[in-house]
């Protein structure tokens, strides 16, 4: 033993580095002996060149040279390259003569011991007992094997990669093996995507196959979806209760609130959704990212399992389980949400950010990183199943690229620069999280090693620079051409995240220093503002909680109402009918008072012009009312007859001011079709009529800018009109 180890150490110190590779029966290495008795499985050779694609991670740590060969064999066994009790052929680079080989018995243990004697110049070989062939349909053994029972029939099959394999079938049941082999070759067809077969079924369909297994296998993503739905119910309760629960004020991300230290909004804005349709879109995105956490063990219609390496019956088209687990999935979700929120404040500091789309893009970025590492390290050679996943890896990346491409198209078409930038940053954050933390890949069912994608860096050892030192670790993205040292990747990822945080602090504290921290914004008729505000006066005993101290209450705003049209009117043909609409702001609810307060003085009011019409009338007129915002105020629309001297009220409709300013996502106005209620004796002509209005809200600064913009546009139109008039006059004089 000592003599052997010293000989190996001498060869390593002289510049020879062990290289291990599998030499199958139909593809022998030129340096391996051509003789074979059907039991040999591989070879170990000495060479000045180390091909890192063969066995990754075998020399990544500083170890005595005499232990490196044993480390190599253990790695082979850990990667399932050697089955338990598998035979092994060992050759020397300078002797390669099979006749010089000496045989020694080796037990059927999973770890094989191999010895090299340099003074003899020959290769020592170790041989174990015969390996039994697979006997279950859908499985085969790539190592030459024998049937366990003499009555079984030995079948020669082929893997999808064209490699020969063998299986033993009972008499009369050979067709089962051949049918499974044919299905393996034809796997990936369109019909095989759908339940109940579930072959290569994309993650978005897993929830419909077995939601219990999805909940057990992907608890973080499933939990996020459940919490999102619950938060939407909270939002509905807040809307019905009139803001009793301050959900809208506390949860969304609003730039000025960061000045008060409310950094939790960088994580909570993903839980706020205005509508179910918006939530539904984000849920579909999360369903398509389930594989970032793991692959659920779903039993398919043919009795096999969706998850590779699970179940008694092998599924050649199983889904690779290379997820990074629940803890790291939660980390990606939190980091991507925070980075997306921070980057969105760079573009529009005063905008209100809601929705879980940033989280979905972060998980998509993590998926891209995981599959990039899988493809770069060529981990198909290290899986526990005889199948290549390279094609599926690229198909999965195409799915993600399609999702990202559609988002770019949406962002460009809607000119949503802030959302587009935030989503891209979230995806980069998910990608960077994987590269920094290097999480485990899978749960051991497909890959035996936790981080098999970490490989020794490719280098040239001519000159012996690394002959007796440790080998640096690298990762490869997409292919062997893109190789990066692990320390450098981690450092760059950390620098990017630090720069993101630093610029956000700079933006909040310096660039946006003129923006008051007490600024408020209306979102769907409810206030978004900082809750960490000084309490209002009135004595310590009578003070309200800080979350009820509104930053918007009592502030001056411009209520903008576009009166468009009215329909379903029933005027009396014998009388003149010239309707107008009066927009009023009231401090109390007119719906609870007899007469609907149509003649009572309003806090602010203004009327449109009277327009002659019949069953349908169009005004298309804008009304601007300066008011002080109060949660208890109401908007009242009164339809009057301008043909009468008293401007008699015919009908009215009213709604809370907060409801009138409840905007849909992506819009800065609220479109309302309101049904009129008859008032007075002549109200029958307008009872049940529909009035179409658009409500908007402006602060005083926006009103000044709006007035200036309208004035400039009118001046430009006047100049254009004057130019046309001069041209017409010149043509008439000719």
- DSSP 8-state assignment for residue 428: H
pLDDT tens readout for residues 387-416: 566 667 777 788 888 878 887 887 788 777
Domain 565-700 sits in CATH 3.30.70.20: no
Where exactly are the structural domains of the chain? 2-127, 242-295+318-458+469-502, 565-700
Q: What is the pLDDT of residue 585?
A: 93
pTM, entire model:
0.58
Q: Which of 295, 286, 319, 253 is nearest to 430 (CA)?
A: 286
Query: How many whole angstroms separate alpha carbon 206 and alpha carbon 196?
Result: 10
Q: Which of 48, 466, 516, 79 is nearest to 260 (CA)?
A: 516
- With H, G, I as helix, E, B as strand and everything else as coil, classify residue 494: helix
Average pLDDT, the chain: 74
Q: How far is CA 379 from CA 55, 169, 372, 383, 476, in A?
A: 10, 31, 11, 7, 11
Q: What is the pLDDT of residue 248?
A: 87
CB burial of 582-605 (b: ≥16 within 10 Å; e: otherwise) equals bbbbbeebbeeeeebbbeeebebe
Query: How many whole angstroms separate alpha carbon 313 and alpha carbon 513?
Result: 65
- DSSP 8-state assignment for residue 615: S
Q: What is the pLDDT of residue 37?
A: 34
Q: What is the pLDDT of residue 334?
A: 95
Query: How many whole angstroms separate alpha carbon 155 and alpha carbon 134?
Result: 10
DSSP per residue over 653-714, as a string?
EEEEHHHHT-PPTT-SSEEEEEE-EE-SGGGGGTTT-EEEEEEEEEEHHHHHHHHHHHHHHH
Q: What is the pLDDT of residue 487?
A: 92
Q: How far is CA 269 from CA 172, 272, 354, 565, in A?
A: 63, 6, 5, 38
In which region does residue 442 sit, left (phi positive, over 0), alpha (psi from -120 to 50) or beta (all else)?
Answer: left
- What stretch of H or E contains 69? helix 65-78
Residue 170 tokens read as 């009972």
Q: What is the pLDDT of residue 731?
A: 86
Q: What is the pLDDT of residue 714?
A: 87
Query: How many whole angstroms separate alpha carbon 20 and alpha carbon 383?
Result: 17
Do the two domains 242-295+318-458+469-502 and 565-700 of this chain adopt the same fold?
no
Parallel/antiparallel/unpaired status of strands 473-476 and 455-456: antiparallel
The contacts of residue 267 (CB under 8 Å, 6+ apart) are 334, 337, 338, 341
Q: Which of 376, 356, 358, 372 is nearest to 280 (CA)?
A: 356
- As beta bridge partners, residue 649 has 640
The contacts of residue 588 (CB under 8 Å, 6+ apart) are 597, 632, 634
The contacts of residue 72 (CB under 8 Å, 6+ apart) are 18, 20, 44, 55, 58
Q: Which of 685, 665, 668 is nearest to 677 (CA)?
A: 685
Q: What is the pLDDT of residue 509?
A: 92
Q: What is the pLDDT of residue 726?
A: 86
Query: How many whole angstroms separate alpha carbon 472 and alpha carbon 465?
Result: 12
Q: What is the pLDDT of residue 180?
A: 57
Q: What is the pLDDT of residue 384?
A: 57
**Residue ranges, the chain, pLDDT below 70:** 1-131, 138, 143-144, 160-162, 175-200, 242-243, 301-303, 311-317, 381-391, 448, 459-471, 532-552, 664-666, 701
Query: How many whole angstroms separate alpha carbon 16 and alpha carbon 94?
Result: 12
| CATH fit for domain 242-295+318-458+469-502, picks 1.10.3470, 1.10.1740, 1.20.1540, 2.30.230 | 1.20.1540
Q: Which of 38, 51, 104, 44 is nearest to 69 (CA)?
A: 44
């Amino acid at each position: 033993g000592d003599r052997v180890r010293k000989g190996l150490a001498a060869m390593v110190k002289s510049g020879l580095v062990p290289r291990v590779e599998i030499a199958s029966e139909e593809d022998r290495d030129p340096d391996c002996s051509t003789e074979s008795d059907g039991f040999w499985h591989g070879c170990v050779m000495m060479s000045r060149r180390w091909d890192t694609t063969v066995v990754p991670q075998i020399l990544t740590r500083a170890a005595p040279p005499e232990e490196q060969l044993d480390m190599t064999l253990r790695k082979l066994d850990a990667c399932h390259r050697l089955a338990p009790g598998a035979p092994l052929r060992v050759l020397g680079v300078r002797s390669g003569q099979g006749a010089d080989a000496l045989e020694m018995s080796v037990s059927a243990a999973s770890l094989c011991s191999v010895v090299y004697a340099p003074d003899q110049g020959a290769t020592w070989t170790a041989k174990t007992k015969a390996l039994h062939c697979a006997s279950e349909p859908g499985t085969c053994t790539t190592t030459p094997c024998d049937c366990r029972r003499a009555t079984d029939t030995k079948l020669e099959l082929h893997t999808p990669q064209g490699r020969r394999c063998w299986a033993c079938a009972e008499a009369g049941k050979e067709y089962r093996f051949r049918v499974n082999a044919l299905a393996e070759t034809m796997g990936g067809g369109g019909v095989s995507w759908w339940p109940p077969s579930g072959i290569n079924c994309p993650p978005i369909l897993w929830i419909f196959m077995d939601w219990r297994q999805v909940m057990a296998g992907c608890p973080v993503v499933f939990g996020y979806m459940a919490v999102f739905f619950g938060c939407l119910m909270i939002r509905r309760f807040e809307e019905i209760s009139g803001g009793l629960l301050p959900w809208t004020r506390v949860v969304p991300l609003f730039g000025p609130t960061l000045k008060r230290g409310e950094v939790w909004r960088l994580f909570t804005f993903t839980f706020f959704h205005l509508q179910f349709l918006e939530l539904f879109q984000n849920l579909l995105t999360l369903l398509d990212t389930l594989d970032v956490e793991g692959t659920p063990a779903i039993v398919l219609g043919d009795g096999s399992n969706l998850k590779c390496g699970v179940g008694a019956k092998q599924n050649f088209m199983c889904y690779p389980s290379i997820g990074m687990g629940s803890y790291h999935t939660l980390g990606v979700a939190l980091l991507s949400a925070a980075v997306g929120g921070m980057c969105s404040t760079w573009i529009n500091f005063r905008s209100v950010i809601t929705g879980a789309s940033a989280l979905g893009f972060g998980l998509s970025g993590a998926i891209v990183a995981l599959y990039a590492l899988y493809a770069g390290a060529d981990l198909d050679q290290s899986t526990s199943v005889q199948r290549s996943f390279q094609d599926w890896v690229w198909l999965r990346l195409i799915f993600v690229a399609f999702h990202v491409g559609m988002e770019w198209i949406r962002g460009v078409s809607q000119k949503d620069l802030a959302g587009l930038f935030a989503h891209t940053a979230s995806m980069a954050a998910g990608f960077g999280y994987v590269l920094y933390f290097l999480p485990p890949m899978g749960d051991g069912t497909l890959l035996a090693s936790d981080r098999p994608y970490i490989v020794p860096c490719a280098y040239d050892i001519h000159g012996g620079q690394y002959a007796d030192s440790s080998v640096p670790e690298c990762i490869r993205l997409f292919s062997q051409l893109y190789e990066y040292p692990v320390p450098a990747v981690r450092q760059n990822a950390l620098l990017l995240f630090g720069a993101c945080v630093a610029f956000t602090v700079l933006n909040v504290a310096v660039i946006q220093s003129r923006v008051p921290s007490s600024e408020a914004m209306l979102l769907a008729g409810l206030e978004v503002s900082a809750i960490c505000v000084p309490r209002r006066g009135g004595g310590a005993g009578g003070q309200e909680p800080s979350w009820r101290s509104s930053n918007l209450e009592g502030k001056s705003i411009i209520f903008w109402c576009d009166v468009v049209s009215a329909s379903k009117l029933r005027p009396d043909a014998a009388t003149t009918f010239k309707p107008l609409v009066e927009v009023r702001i009231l401090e109390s609810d007119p719906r609870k008072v007899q007469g609907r307060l149509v003649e009572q003085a309003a806090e602010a009011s203004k009327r449109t012009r009277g327009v002659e019409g019949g069953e349908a009338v169009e005004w298309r007129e804008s009304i601007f009312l300066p008011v002080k915002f109060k949660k208890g105020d109401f908007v009242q629309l009164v339809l009057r007859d301008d043909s009468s001297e008293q401007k008699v009220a015919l009908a009215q409709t009213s709604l809370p001011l907060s409801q009138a300013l409840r905007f849909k996502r992506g819009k800065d106005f609220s479109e309302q079709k309101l049904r009129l209620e008859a008032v007075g004796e002549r109200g029958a002509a307008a009872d049940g009529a529909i009035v179409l209005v658009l409500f908007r809200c402006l602060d005083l600064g926006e009103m000044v800018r709006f007035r200036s913009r309208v004035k400039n546009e009118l001046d430009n139109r006047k100049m254009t009109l004057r130019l046309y008039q001069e041209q017409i006059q010149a043509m008439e004089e000719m």
